Amino acid sequence: MIITIILILIVTYLLCGLLFAIPFVIKGVNRIDETAHGGSIGFRIIIIPGVMVFWPLLLKKWMKK
């Protein structure tokens, strides 16, 4: 029971991260990181898992800029 609840919370967190990652990878990464301007599609695909995990921090940083 407890493990099921923990897994549901983890999946929910990662789904929120995925929903955040799509617009962030398209537009947000350019606003936060100046060196990402002109980054290839491969770079953007590679950073998606990290964005999914750290989405609350990246959202906060994105909103500041």
pLDDT in tens, 4-59: 999 999 999 999 999 999 999 999 999 998 888 888 899 999 999 999 999 999 99
Task: Report pTM.
Answer: 0.86
For residues 29 and 54, give the distance between their C-alpha atoms in angstroms, rounded to a whole number.
13
List for the chain the helix, strand, coil content (%; round to 5): 90, 0, 10
For residues 1 and 45, give the distance between their C-alpha atoms in angstroms, rounded to a whole number.
35
* φ/ψ bin of 39: left (φ > 0), alpha (ψ from -120 to 50), beta (otherwise): beta
